[in-house]
Structure 1
């Protein structure tokens, strides 16, 4: 164990086996929090332990000097709140309480970076983990599973093994969780495509108003080679907000500003009393969210009608979306948060391209303001929890052109078909991004539509109106078909004659 080197694959497989502790007892959308928190605890404990050992060696066993130096690390850890201490107490009758206290100590010791990060997790919950005996058995098994892992940096082979392992787990949990999975994770290849389309640059502010577990933000941040960019996010779900903050920390991003709350009713990234502005905005908001404006009503009133005047930030002056479909509420929020020259990429259901009434009016306003740069149709069944095809809309402030590019990337051959879920391959991502860069019409794949075309289509952006992927069937040669039929008839007659001959020989 002391000298073993751990590959990414071995770490991933060991973590996935640790989930057996909960499988069949608790839904994966719930037990994911316990697994991910324990991974976090094990990792920071191993990092801390290794560095402390190195400092003791450096200072010839001078504990006081080592203690003083280690306080300058990214985080600090008390002996009583380390994973090793939890493991030593694995047989305790109150192990759930002991783990909760350790988590509280970690938060208290690292207030600026980890305050409140474990607030939504309770290792002593009877309603989730069962009675004392069941709970203690489960937690003991969990600690024993994680004790098999050695996550000291010197033992890990590869770059960002822990960050990758965290993403691996989240992805698998999202797949397991069905519809709920899509609420906290965007498939990595879609995140990769979005981040390449918006091209984050050094010193950009990068924002995701519905950030889930933060994977999309991390992909965008990784596109900045110097890592000099500031991350902002907001997430409504408390557990998912905690996942995002842990995800950032495990990827070495200590200064990410991830807020907890309803982005539409209570946007929390404010500057001088107005919405903060961002150079890059990326998002995969919940598709067609029902009751998206309920936060404005102040009560659960089924008769509540949202009006633009209720929003102090004037985001809905272009139109108030229908109460059962919040897609354009998020789009308008993001566009009002976009800085001069900013780029924005958002994943949405196809309905936003053609639905009428208030959504049609909003769409017309956005197009007339020359904010929409591209419409990209994605294959069906890419996302967790829904098989419907989605679209990526790319927006830009201060566009120098007034055409709109349409890309149909939903066709066969543009993605990898999977048993449960389809995937975009690297070559597919490259083809889409190259087409966006080229910004030209390519038969059966892309079309650059003029404003005149868009207006003639009553601002309907349905992709088949602009990209014709229809393949004409070859004309049937009737003479050839007739000859084939005659030939088949002759063969059939010969076979029947031969069959009759055999039957006669057998006396039948």
Structure 2
């Protein structure tokens, strides 16, 4: 049991827990039970490891249990071995242990285990929970056996597997990691900077910044990471995910970013950040447009988005959250934000703000389990003199690989895109520079084909109409596909119920 765990062994071990639950609960619910148990097992095993190290020094159990020898406190009756010894009402015992640990660590762990319904025996009978606990008991998740990076990678693997297993709705907690990595490289986070994700899901974008700074051999532990997530269970997973990656100075808030932004300054205004990475939810309709129209944080600086599409509400929230000197952002959107007619006035104000640095068009499938083509828009609060009044357009629609029904960016794709981004220069058929006046001449549309690979031999006005119509058709088709997938998922769930 006490031996170094390889990455393959870890993945098999973690996915084995899902096999125990398969057929008993919906795949989309695996995460709210398996992630908390992994975290409870980890902190129990690390507590024992810390106890053994302290005991070797003090040769006294009571001294070895002093709080200063442990990262987290585990009260009596709340350790993994305590719940393993329970044979009846196991779910109640698990919940009691989790709440006890949260209460004993009020500064770091309140609510970290989420809101899973552990006492529901028709969903999780004692026999199933016992099997799950015994499965996790087959390995010792100490730091010696499994360093933080490796367990964190295993956690990311499990997040992706759950996303694969649970279908279209998985986008709320999973964003393609090769794309996240490239977005991180575009913004180049530095030691000591603040990093923010207003719709953070399971925290993958925040973790990516720390991993990149660490990969470069720079000090990564002083990054200040902030995220907000609407789904309570997902926000709890994000907090666990940060801890399991060795990130202790992370701030994950639960709540609605548009209605109640969690991070405010001393004057009650929005906190400003050096780096913002985001994949906001696509075109949500259920949001409080009236409140945004009189937003107390001044986030409606370009106007009020239509009720049916909140994309520009998130867009403006991010713009208002940028540090005026160092602030830069990379945001993953559907292509529609670049050209939809109902957002024309908002887009014009955005262009005139001169915040846009780059519009990067990507291939299909990089939105999780969706055929939709993605676009990354980067913002920069303080552009260099040579970049002011100019926007870089990159058409990387062909820079994508697809294997086993998954789309991703190979290293070569990322390198080509990053090279064009950093050069900030025209590259025939791939990249183009447009001035604010150029964009104004095209009705403030940001549709990439208007600037890169324009239709040869077609009048400008006709080309604009053709490209915009084609882009709108693609957007509508992708949205229709997504809606059909959602309906089919619901029908399948009803049949299974």
TM range (shorter): 0.7 to 0.9
Task: Give 1:307 shift.
Answer: 6.3
Equivalence map 1:152-231=2 (5 Å): 152-156=142-146, 160-224=149-213, 225-227=218-220, 228-231=222-225
Residue matched to 2:15: 16
Q: Distance in 2 between matches of 1:62 and 1:204?
A: 42
Equivalence map 1:77-476=2 (5 Å): 77-89=74-86, 92-126=87-121, 128-129=123-124, 135-156=125-146, 160-224=149-213, 225-227=218-220, 228-271=222-265, 272-293=267-288, 306=290, 309-341=293-325, 342-357=327-342, 359-399=343-383, 400=385, 401=387, 402-411=389-398, 414-468=399-453
Q: Is the 1:377–1:391 contact (alpha carbons within 8 Å) kept by the matching residues of 2?
A: yes
- Residues 1:352 and 1:52: Cα distance change in structure 2 (over 3 Å): same
Aligned-residue CA RMSD (Å): 1.8
Task: Give 1:58 shift.
Answer: 2.2
Task: Give 1:126 shift.
Answer: 4.1
What secondary structure sits across from 2:403 in the alignment? coil
Q: Distance in 2 between matches of 1:127 and 1:439?
A: 59
Q: Distance in 1 between matches of 2:280 and 2:292?
A: 21
Could you tell me which runs of 5 or more consecutive residues in structure 1 were left unpaired when the two chains were aligned: 130-134, 294-304, 473-508
Q: Distance in 1 between matches of 2:428 and 2:393?
A: 11
User: Relative to structure 2, which stretch is displaced further, 16-25 or 70-79?
Assistant: 70-79
Q: Deviations over 1:236-277 (max 9, x none)?
A: 111111111111111122221111111001111111111111
Per the normalisation by structure 2, the TM-score is 0.86
User: Relative to structure 2, which stretch is displaced further, 35-44 or 112-121?
Assistant: 112-121
Q: Is the 2:51–2:69 contact (alpha carbons within 8 Å) kept by the matching residues of 1?
A: no
Q: Distance in 2 between matches of 1:164 and 1:109?
A: 28
Q: Is the 1:318–1:365 contact (alpha carbons within 8 Å) kept by the matching residues of 2?
A: yes
Task: Give 1:78 shift.
Answer: 3.0
Q: Is the 2:25–2:123 contact (alpha carbons within 8 Å) kept by the matching residues of 1?
A: yes
- 2:19 pairs with 1:34: no
Please identify the structure whose Cα radius of gyration is greater: 1
Q: Deviations over 1:291-339 (max 9, x none)?
A: 222xxxxxxxxxxx62654311121142111111111100001101111
Q: Is the 1:194–1:345 contact (alpha carbons within 8 Å) kept by the matching residues of 2?
A: yes
What secondary structure sits across from 2:212 in the alignment? coil
Q: Distance in 1 between matches of 2:456 and 2:406?
A: 26
Per the normalisation by structure 1, the TM-score is 0.85
Segments of 4+ moved more than 6 angstroms? 469-472
Residue matched to 1:67: 65
Q: Deviations over 1:431-470 (max 9, x none)?
A: 1111100111111111111222211111111111111188
Task: Give 1:127 shift.
Answer: 6.2
Task: Give 1:125 shift.
Answer: 2.1
Q: Distance in 2 between matches of 1:18 and 1:116?
A: 23
Task: Give 1:151 shift.
Answer: 1.2
What secondary structure sits across from 1:9 in the alignment? helix
Q: Distance in 2 between matches of 1:88 and 1:470?
A: 71
Could you tell me which runs of 5 or more consecutive residues in structure 2 were left unpaired when the two chains were aligned: 458-497
Residue matched to 1:486: none
Task: Give 1:188 shift.
Answer: 1.0
Q: Deviations over 1:204-242 (max 9, x none)?
A: 111111011111111123333212221111111111111
- Residues 1:308 and 1:98: Cα distance change in structure 2 (over 3 Å): closer
Task: Give 1:340 shift.
Answer: 1.1
What secondary structure sits across from 2:274 in the alignment? strand
Q: Is the 2:50–2:70 contact (alpha carbons within 8 Å) kept by the matching residues of 1?
A: no
Q: Is the 1:347–1:393 contact (alpha carbons within 8 Å) kept by the matching residues of 2?
A: yes
Residue matched to 1:481: none
Task: Give 1:415 shift.
Answer: 1.9
Q: Distance in 2 between matches of 1:328 and 1:244?
A: 25
Q: Distance in 2 between matches of 1:217 and 1:45?
A: 25
Q: Is the 2:24–2:123 contact (alpha carbons within 8 Å) kept by the matching residues of 1?
A: no
Task: Give 1:65 shift.
Answer: 2.2
Q: Deviations over 1:345-378 (max 9, x none)?
A: 1000000000013x11111111111110000011
Residue matched to 2:480: none
Task: Give 1:379 shift.
Answer: 1.1
Q: Deviations over 1:457-497 (max 9, x none)?
A: 1111111111118899xxxxxxxxxxxxxxxxxxxxxxxxx
What secondary structure sits across from 1:274 in the alignment? coil
Q: Distance in 2 between matches of 1:471 and 1:54?
A: 72
Matched residues, number:
447
What secondary structure sits across from 1:448 in the alignment? strand
Q: Distance in 2 between matches of 1:238 and 1:308?
A: 23
Q: Distance in 1 between matches of 2:280 and 2:416?
A: 25
What secondary structure sits across from 1:368 in the alignment? helix
- Residues 1:319 and 1:5: Cα distance change in structure 2 (over 3 Å): same
